[in-house]
């Protein structure tokens, strides 16, 4: 299965935030969108970084509550792994496991086209396994 199939199912919507927004604003956006990460982007197309719940938690532990008034770019992950819609979900799962990341932006022609979470990957894998199971049942029952 390709990543484009996941995007087709869930849609291309991506929650973003500007790099100069405060960490408190990022926390509010995470809660408002009910997501675990925001793509940091000034224009909604270019990926400048990503800020996740993990980034916020680690910054709070290191720097305390004063971090909430600081800009997102101070704690965001600026080295962002991305994928294209044509890549296989299996290779994305390997990347997510290897680099211990839960959210990966999808770029098409260099522009933000969506985001895939580890939950999206698990859901797609379960759907594939169910399809395989159904095909096996049909094959066995046809005999």
Q: pLDDT tens for residues 40-85?
A: 999 999 999 999 999 999 999 999 999 999 999 999 999 999 999 9
- Tell me the CA distances in angstroms from 83 to 7, 37, 79, 117, 119, one per residue in order: 12, 16, 13, 12, 16
pTM for this entry: 0.86
Q: What sign does the dihedral 78-84-85-87 (CA atoms) show?
A: negative
Q: Which two tokens stand for residue 65?
A: 């509550």
- CATH fold for domain 3-142: CBS-domain (3.10.580)
Q: What are phi and psi of 27, to 5 degrees?
A: -60, -45
Which DSSP symbol is given to 109? Answer: T
Rounded to whole angstroms, how far apart are CA atoms 109 and 33? Answer: 26
Q: What is the pLDDT of residue 61?
A: 96
Quickly state the pLDDT bin for 132 (edges 50, 70, 90). Answer: confident
Enumerate long-range contacts of 89-94, CB under 8 Å, 24 or more apart.
89/1, 89/2, 89/3, 89/5, 89/6, 89/121, 89/124, 89/125, 90/1, 92/3, 92/116, 92/121, 93/121, 93/125
Domain segments of the chain: what residues? 3-142
């Amino acid at each position: 299965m390709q990543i484009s199939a996941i995007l087709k199912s869930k849609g291309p919507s991506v929650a973003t935030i500007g790099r100069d927004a405060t960490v408190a604003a990022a926390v509010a956006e995470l809660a408002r969108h009910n997501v675990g990460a925001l793509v940091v982007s000034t224009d909604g197309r270019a990926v400048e970084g990503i800020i996740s719940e993990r980034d916020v938690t680690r910054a709070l532990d290191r720097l305390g509550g004063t971090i909430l008034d600081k800009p997102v770019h101070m704690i965001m992950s600026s080295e962002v792994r991305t994928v294209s819609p044509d890549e296989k979900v299996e290779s994305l799962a390997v990347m997510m496991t290897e680099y211990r990341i839960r959210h990966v932006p999808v770029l098409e022609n260099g522009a933000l086209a969506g985001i895939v979470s580890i939950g999206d990957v698990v859901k797609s894998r379960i759907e594939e396994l169910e399809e395989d199971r159904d095909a096996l049942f049909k094959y066995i029952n046809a005999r």
